[in-house]
């Protein structure tokens, strides 16, 4: 009797454990595709005024395609992708990306602090460089 109920408890635990494992595996990473274009603008398909919205602390796969504008860095970087807090323009750790021509994926984690942020280009890519930014919102 004792053995049997112990076995039953074991089976229930195993089933619950499997359920948890399955749901975390099924949880999808937020994929965001951005074009850092040759006219010194960030673009997102389907958005006239591109904006990124993510959940606090959420895992993100950033897939960025960069196209060369007029000028670039000596190291071959043609655009940057740096995340700043909108309130004081301070940099967010780990979000200072430099882009080479072509498409690259970056595994990122959204900031833990909800609020408004801005993505800016850190490479002087043309006379339009100062206009190369993107609104980035972190929701709770
Ligand atoms: Cu740029």
Cα separation, 35 vs 50, whole angstroms: 10
- pLDDT greater than 90 at residue 36: yes
Calculate how far, in angstroms, residue 52's C-alpha sits from the geometric centre of ligand 1: 17
- Between the CA of 105 and the centroid of ligand 1 the distance, in Å, is 18
pLDDT 10s digits, 51-78: 999 999 999 999 999 999 999 999 999 9
What value does the mean pLDDT of the chain take?
A: 88
Distance from Cα 121 to the centre of ligand 1, integer Å: 5
1 pLDDT higher than 80: no
Domain ranges in the chain?
29-139
Tell me: pLDDT of 6 over 80: no
User: Could you say which architecture CATH assigns to the domain 29-139?
Assistant: Sandwich (2.60)
The predicted structure's pLDDT at residue 4: 53
pTM for the predicted model, two decimal places: 0.80
Q: Both ends of the chain: CA-CA distance in Å?
A: 49
């Amino acid at each position: 009797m004792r053995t049997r109920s112990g076995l039953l408890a074991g089976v229930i635990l195993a089933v619950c454990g499997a359920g948890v494992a399955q749901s975390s595996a099924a949880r999808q990473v937020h994929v965001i595709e951005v074009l850092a274009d040759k006219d010194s603008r960030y673009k997102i398909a389907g958005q006239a005024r591109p904006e990124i919205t993510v959940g606090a602390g959420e895992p993100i796969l950033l897939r960025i395609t960069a196209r060369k504008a007029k000028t670039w860095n000596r190291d071959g970087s043609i655009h940057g992708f740096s995340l700043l807090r909108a309130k004081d323009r301070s940099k967010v750790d780990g979000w200072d990306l430099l882009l080479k021509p072509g498409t690259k994926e970056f595994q990122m984690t959204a900031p833990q602090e909800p609020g408004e942020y801005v993505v800016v280009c850190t490479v002087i890519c043309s006379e339009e460089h100062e206009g190369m930014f993107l609104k980035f919102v972190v929701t709770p």
